Amino acid sequence: MKTRVYVTLKNGVLDPQGKAIHHALEGLGFSGVNDVRAGKLIELDLDPKVSDAEVEDMCRKLLANTVIENFKIERVGAAA
Amino acid sequence: MKSAVIVFPGSNCDRDMAEGLRIVTGKAPTMVWHRETELPEGLDLIAIPGGFSYGDYLRSGAMAAQSPVMRAVKDAAERGVFILGVCNGFQVLTETHLLPGALMRNAGLSFICRDVPLTVENSQSAFTARYGAGEAVAIPVAHHDGNYQADAATLDRLEGEGRVAFRYAAEVNGSARGIAGILNEAGNVLGMMPHPERAVEDAHGRTDGRRLFEGLLEAVSQPA
């Protein structure tokens, strides 16, 4: 089963990479970009027996650093 | 003083650390590969060196923190063995939760490699006993992810408990409250971004890092 984990910086944590991307977009002439936050997408192909709680445990123990990051788990369905 | 340097795939300051320890303490450390599950007997100090363990995959220090040897390092820390994490070693210590907070990408996005002025904030720890409180020193940094961040309550606690060992005397990387190095609650674990092992002999151009190792040497040679 395909599962997506989105790891994003917590609100209020300065995101230098997002800022640099924001500047670059403005440099390209794109207007109306109010803010940019960069994060990570981690795709897991999981055995159906892996529970939601286990995925959450994976996030807390390794995939995200909860000091600075939030995570969101999205169960996508059977792997293609 | 009996010391060990932990070596991960991608460590690149392990030999600097070993050489620094040999020069100051007169005894070469044991190099310990990250797959080891046990550390040599009777260690006084475990150094976690700088570098790019596991290519900084996922987050700096995140993979190294899961290495088999880190379990033994954690146990040693609980027994009161001195642990020094420099640069990537500091990142590994935060990822292992031996120290609070996290080290993020430098605020200016650039890799910074130069001598930086520091203020010794706490001269009471074994690591900093040879420095004066408030003393100005200069030690080189070489990092991309040295921007120390923690929530306000944690920062207040670190400052209130005298656990900020070193602060940048000028803005370097965006670190919260200019924090360059912190201690754990018991005072036997220090993580710092600057490289004291690169400032121990005249050929380095600076020797301000030397006293950190001398302080440890003194601490371990005193009868408990």
- The string of pLDDT tens digits covering residues B128-172 is 999 999 999 999 999 999 999 999 999 999 999 999 999 999 999
Q: In terms of DSSP bridges, do strands B45-48 and B3-7 run parallel, antiparallel, or are they unpaired?
A: parallel
| Rounded average pLDDT over B59-64 | 96
Please name which of B75, B70, B89, B65 lies closest in space to residue B32, comparing C-alpha atoms.
B70
Confidence (pLDDT) at A52: 93
Homologous superfamily of A2-77: Phosphoribosylformylglycinamidine synthase subunit PurS (3.30.1280.10)
Question: If you count DSSP H runs as helices and E runs as strands, how many of each does chain A have, helices first?
Answer: 2, 3
Q: Tokens in use for B21? A: 């320890």
d(CA B148, CA B155): 10
**Chain A residue nearest residue B107, CA to CA:** A16
Confidence (pLDDT) at B223: 65
Question: Catalytic residue at B13?
Answer: no
| Percentage of chain B exceeding pLDDT 70 | 99
Under CATH, which number does the domain B3-221 receive? 3.40.50.880
Name the pLDDT band for A14 (thresholds 50, 70, 90).
Answer: confident
Mutate to test the interface with B, among A11, A23, A65 (most CBs of B within 10 A): A65
Confidence (pLDDT) at A1: 87
DSSP B165-194: EEEESS--S--GGGEEEEE-TTS-EEEESS
Name the pLDDT band for A34 (thresholds 50, 70, 90).
Answer: very high
Q: Quote ipTM for the complex.
A: 0.83
Name the residue type at position B210.
R
**Chain B residue nearest residue A60, CA to CA:** B95
